Amino acid sequence: MAGLAAAVNIVTSNGAAGLAGCTVTAACSVTDEPPTLLVCINRSSATNEIIRKNGNLCVNVLSADQRDVAMQFATKGLSVRERLACAKWGALETGAPVLDGAVCAFDCQVDSASEVGTHTVFYCGVTAVRYEAGCDGLIYFGRDFHRVGVSAARLAEIRA
C-alpha cells in the first residue's frame, strides 16, 4: 500500500460513547448524490467502537502544515484528550470535532458499515461541509508525508 498516495485525514467522533479520533488515509468519496463518503477504520482501534456507538464522524482533511496533528493522532498510547490538545477544534452538525485550518471537513452520520478483513468500512452521509480555500493538502506516499497544492497562478484562475 506504500505505492498508493492518499490524503491524510483526522477522523473524529463525539456523542454518548465519548470522544474519539485517529489518523486515516483510507477515506474517499462514494457518490455526490446523496453526498456519501467511505471511511475504513481498523476493528482493533478504540475509535472504531466509539464511531459505531455514536453513529457519527467527521473527516478532517489535513493541510500541508498539519503534519504534526497527523503524527499526534497516530501515536499509540495517547488519550483522545491528549490528541485533541495539539490543535484548535470546533463543531458542525453532529458535534464531532472539526479541526481549525483543515483543508476541508466533512461532518457525517454513519449510514451503514461492513467488515472487510481487519477493517470496518463505514458508509457515511455528509450532513455539513466546511472548506478552507487556498490551503495546500497533505498526502502520504512511499511511507512519508508530502505537500500537494495548486500553484498561485492556477488558484487565481479558480477564484476568477
In a domain, 10, yes or no: yes
pLDDT of 157: 66
End-to-end CA distance of the chain: 38
Q: Which pLDDT score, from 0 to 100, does residue 107 have?
A: 98
Alpha-carbon span 43 to 104, nearest angstrom: 26
Q: Is residue 73 in a domain?
A: yes
- Residue 1: inside a domain, yes or no? no
**What pLDDT, in 10s, does the model give residues 30-50?**
999 999 999 999 999 999 999
The count of domains in the chain is 1
Q: Which residues of the chain have pLDDT under 70?
A: 150-160
**Helix-, strand-, coil-residue percentages of the chain, each rounded to 5:** 20, 45, 35
Would 135 be classed as within a structural domain? yes
Please tell me the predicted confidence (pLDDT) of residue 149.
86
- Position 4 scores a pLDDT of 84
The whole-number pLDDT of residue 99 equals 98
> How many CA atoms within 13 Å lie on the side-chain side of 2?
3
pLDDT of res. 134: 82
Output the pLDDT for position 154. 62
* Residue 24 located in a structural domain: yes
Residue 50: CB atoms within 10 Å: 24
Task: Report if residue 71 sits inside a domain.
Answer: yes
Give dist(CA 110, CA 119) in Å, integer: 15
Q: What is the grid cell recorded at 79?
A: 488519550
Q: Which domain range does residue 84 map to? A: 6-159
**Domain of residue 31, CATH code:** 2.30.110.10
In a domain, 46, yes or no: yes
Element (H, E) at 68: helix 67-74
Contact (CB, 8 A) for 113 and 122? yes
DSSP string, 88-154: -EEE-SS--EEETT-SEEEEEEEEEEEEETTEEEEEEEEEEEEE-TTPPEEEEETTEEEEE---HHH
What per-residue confidence (pLDDT) applies to 2? 76
The answer to whether residue 127 is domain-embedded is yes
Give the pLDDT confidence score for residue 1 in this predicted structure. Answer: 76
